[in-house]
Structure 1
Amino acid sequence: MAADIRLRHVLLWGLFIAGMCLLPFVTTPGTLRTVIFANYLAIFAMSWDFLTGRTGYVSFGHPFLIGIGAYSTAILSYRFGVPVAISIPAAVLITMLAGTLFFLPALRIRGSYFALVTLAFMELMYQLVQVIRPDITGGTRGISGVQTLTSGAFNNFYLSFALMVVIAIVLWTLTRTRLGTALSAIGMNEESVRGSGLNTTKLKLFSFMVSACVAGIGGAFYVHYLGSIAPRALFDINFLFTIIVAALIGGASTIIGPMAGAFFLTFLLEYLRPVLPGSERYFIYGAIALVLYMYQPKGLYAIVEDLAGRVRRKPTQDTVRDRAA
């Protein structure tokens, strides 16, 4: 039975990858650019989900981590001429180190206190990049003219998609190990996990380090796709809101769910843009997300799983009736 489930998962991953690889040949460059943004939002949502969806520690400061990765590689490559092949790994390492320095004390608290502390870190980062060495960070204007890794929607699609798939498969595999089970147990009852003899602080730190690593990778590649960076775009409440809603509406603690939620929200926002070009569209998609979340708290992933289960059960029931007849 377990082997059949694993085979089905492998087949589904294979079909998804094959279908997405064919996408550039059947759609327009404009749609590809929308998919590219969806790929990066999926990376950010998976990063948030691996920490919050597993351990239950709700982070409101994820743009803080994404911003460190983005600013680090932008400054290194643009201001100091460091090759991108070095600046991106360095940015990821800086994200993990700086994030640990700030967040490790916060991991000892829980609930709304942890959420507020992480939100404070995001706001702190927003203020610091504007006032400390604006000749390096670009101040309120940010940095433009950052080196891009490739050009054109076609190439950027495959780069962002490959990055998203590799991250998704690695995180998905981690969640199915004993370590992933322990992290999920922390989200359900941390005291019981601690009582079993496991070091919950080390487990939470591992979850945060993986989350920070993914956020750093996503932020670094994202800024090299855009070719610019601005504090108002990264450290914005709408950006944070979009990441969290993508994870929740897709299905938290599933890895696949945040990917689905990211694509759903990105295309929803894009289709609402001609009708509501301003920030009003965030209210519309927020309302849609709320209704969907109230209908199924486990998100799109649970809805699809439920439909698939009904389809699998129906042939079995028909077979039983035929035999009975």
Structure 2
Amino acid sequence: MGLRWYHFALWAAFAAGMFLLPEIVPRGTLRTIIFANFLAIFAISWDTLSGRTGYVSFGHPFLIGIGAYTTAILTKRFDVPVEISIPLAVLMTMVGGLIVLLPALRIKGSYFALVTLAMMELMYQLVQVIRPDLTGGTRGMSGLPTLTRGAVNGFYMSTALMLSIAFTTWLLMKTRLGTALSAIGMNEEAVAGSGLSVTRLKLVAFTASAFTAGLGGAVYVHYLGSIAPRALFDINFVFTIIVAALIGGAGTTIGPILGAFFLTFLLEYLRPWLPGAERYLIYGGVALVLYMYQPKGLIYLMGQAVRRVRKGAA
């Protein structure tokens, strides 16, 4: 389906609604939305590669970590300004990811998933034992320069970044390139048989995914002002990213955003009753039921609800 004027109108309405939230919701809710925005960025990044091409990655924090640690080391240890360190971190994520993970795209299925998971675990170990004077070792680093202060400013920054990434990804996926990437996920052999270079297409998908992951990770660490390997490379973080994309609607742009907001608020509302890791069991069960009920995700359920309303009004 091509681009229509109402597509842009919907994006504009979505952006306007988001930017009006500070006038409506309390500061505590804004802080929750900030984390939802960053999770949405990571879920969009994962979906650009895995949701479109079918190459499921279990090691996406590997890419996020490259961006986060690069800018953290540059700013903390070498006093590089943030406006320079973040672009360098994104570039390092793309180059480092291509060198390490691109060869893994030659394998498929569970083997690719295992390789990406192994790379995440390897980086987790490396940042703790290799040059802890640079990485901070097991404790990580704190006192990093922050991009903004306060819930409102953080909300506007994270929302602007999330919307920019989402809209750009949506435009990319509306091109022939995006159609070809989705076709790889359905039948890679048919795409290769049509004369298209599957390797080049996967390269584009991986590069776009790494760019988003690196940018999100770099900005995220400068929002928090700290970085810790145990939190960044935690298996719950991996599954939260994947589940957000899947229950929201993999292979779409809005789906990962819906899934990210759903999971973030679900975890936050469970915190008073289950302050520990037990709440991940609850959200995992809820996500499983939702995914079993509707594998196409929340985006499809919302579409069904809109169609029913239109049918009833008619």
Into which bin does the TM-score normalised by the smaller protein fall? over 0.9
CA displacement at 1:36 relative to structure 2: 0.3
Q: What are the equivalent positions in structure 2 for 1:1-325 lying under 5 Å apart?
A: 6-316=4-314
Identity of paired residues, percent?
72
Q: Compute the TM-score of the two structures, normalised by the length of structure 2.
A: 0.98
What TM-score does the superposition give when structure 1 sets the normalisation length?
0.95
Letter in 1 for 2:243: V
2:308 and 2:195 map into 1 onto residues whose CA distance is 41
Q: Distance between the aligned counterparts of 1:196 and 1:230, measured in 2?
A: 46
1:9 Cα deviation after fit: 2.0
Larger Rg: 1
Query: Over the residues paired in the alignment, what is the CA RMSD in angstroms?
Result: 1.0
1:53-111: CA deviations, max 9, x gaps?
11000001100000100000000011100011100000000000000001111000000
- Mapped to 2, the partners of 1:7 and 1:199 lie a distance apart of 32
* 1:7 positional shift: 2.7
Q: How far has the Cα of 1:13 moved from its partner?
A: 1.4
- Report the alpha carbon displacement of residue 307 of structure 1 after superposing the two structures with TM: 1.3
**What amino acid does structure 1 have at the position aligned with 2:68?**
A
**Structure 2 stretches lacking a partner, 5+ long:** none
Structure 1 runs of 4+ off > 4 angstroms? Answer: none
SS of the equivalent of 1:107 reads helix
Q: Distance in 1 between matches of 2:89 and 2:246?
A: 28
Aligned length: 314
After superposition, what is the alpha-carbon deviation per residue over 1:129-177, rounded to whole angstroms, capped at 9, x for unaligned? 0000000000000000000011101111000000000000000011110
Q: Distance in 1 between matches of 2:42 and 2:20?
A: 24
Cα distance in 2 for partners of 1:109, 1:209 equals 18
User: Which one-letter code corresponds to 2:103 in the other structure?
Assistant: P
- CA shift for structure 1 position 115: 0.3
SS of 2:50's partner is helix
- Structure 1 residues 273-282 or 17-26, which shifts more? 17-26
1:27 CA drift (Å)? 1.6
Indicate the SS of the match to 1:312. Answer: helix
Q: CA deviation at 1:309?
A: 1.7
In structure 1, stretches of 5+ residues that fail to align are 317-325
Q: Equivalents in 2 of 1:26, 1:299: separation in Å?
A: 28
Distance (Å, rounded) in 2 between the aligned partners of 1:156 and 1:278: 26
How far, CA to CA, are the matches of 1:200 and 1:211 in structure 2? Answer: 16
Displacement, 1:308? 1.2
Give the match's secondary structure for 1:150. coil
Offset of residue 18 of structure 1: 1.0
